[in-house]
Amino acid sequence: MKILNFLSLFSTYLLAESLNIEDNAGQFFSSGHTNNWAVLVCTSRFWFNYRHVANTLSVYRSVKRLGIPDSHIVLMLADDMACNHRNPKPATVFSHKNMELNVYGDDVEVDYRGYEVTVENFLRVLTGRLPPSTPRSKRLLSDDRSNILIYLTGHGGNGFLKFQDSEEISNVELADAFEQMWQKRRYNELLFIIDTCQGASMYERFYSPNLMALASSQVGEDSLSHQPDLAIGVHLMDRYTFYLLEFLEDIHPASKTNMNDLFKVCPKSQCVSTPGHRTDLFLRDPGSVLITDFFGSVRKVEITMETINLTNPIEQLEENAVNGELQKEMHSYADQLPVSEIIHQKPKQKDWHPPDGFILGLWTLILLVFFKTYGVRHLKHIF
């Protein structure tokens, strides 16, 4: 009798496990996409728009960390803040004050830079209507199984977004470009995020299916800057993207966080503006859409029946060239400093740089005091 009860419990356990595996597999394949792409665009030039470059690079850093490779990212930066002569820390772009987090890194691949960032080039990238000579790195080679993240930041108004203060794209043009993408089977699902003033006006005219949109502000509202830095002399980020970055730092490739959690990023108490979102064109329930469906990348999976312990150091067999015998060499993953510690650590004293013109102003003050005290005839004592 006990044996029968045991067999019954064991069979029930196996059935529950099989159902759990089927549920997980069903959730894994529910999105229907096989690859991920990202188009990240900063539309602003000039040093005082430093924050827009930092916004874009922050999202770029997050999607790369979550698995989208550079080959599937189209990065468009209208200005090169890292090499700007006013940058006290060359080859860096910081997203947190006191230079705590460098989002430029050492492996940034910019596909369109400077005057290449135009409305025409942006629309050509989306629709695939590029000249035959265009290299693969500048193309959006997506298909009907691609989930695409499109992020825009810059200066805008009611129904338009400016490109480099010389031209603009309207919400109608953007909506028509997305419809062309759908008709040409260039995406499976599309997530559109924009951080600009009156950002919600940019998705009002969308009419293509399987499209979800988020904006940092409603019509009639401004998107505000954040994180002023005295050494650099400008604001480092916009509020919405700053809190979006903090949200993404807690996401990992196996995270179960969904889009409903993303909608709660930067409430009005933090953003001052009112973030908005639109989901009526999206076919799936946002609660079932994982963040990694857009910010991460689909990985190739190898199925094995063997048990693999991922917590212990990895053992690798290498052949000894001297004795010809096999030796076991222990390898382990390097410990990484948590991002929460990076962005909250205090800057070192040597990292501080005086603002632009500080040294020149100091010398001017010294010379004025000297002339006031001794006159021009004693100028030879200085030189």
pLDDT of 13: 57
CA 205/CA 179 separation, integer angstroms: 11
Q: Are 236 and 246 within 8 A, CB to CB?
A: no
Q: Is the pLDDT of residue 29 over 60?
A: no
**What's the pLDDT at 368?**
79
Structure token pair of residue 166: 């010389």
What is the model's pLDDT at position 21?
47
pLDDT band at 281 (very low <50, low <70, confident <90, very high): very high
Instruction: Note the pLDDT tens digit of each residue in 167-205.
Output: 999 999 999 999 999 999 999 999 999 999 999 999 999
d(CA 263, CA 132): 40
So what's the pLDDT on residue 25? 46
Q: Where are the domains of the chain?
A: 31-293
**326/316 Cα distance (integer angstroms):** 10
Architecture of domain 31-293: 3-Layer(aba) Sandwich (3.40)
Q: Phi, psi (5° rounding) for residue 329?
A: -115, 130
Catalytic residues: 155, 197
pLDDT greater than 60 at residue 44: yes
Residue 103 has pLDDT above 70, yes or no: yes
The predicted structure's pLDDT at residue 221: 92
Which helix (H) or strand (E) covers residue 18, if one does?
helix 2-29
Amino acid at 234: V
Average pLDDT value for residue range 262-287: 92
Amino acid residing at 91: A
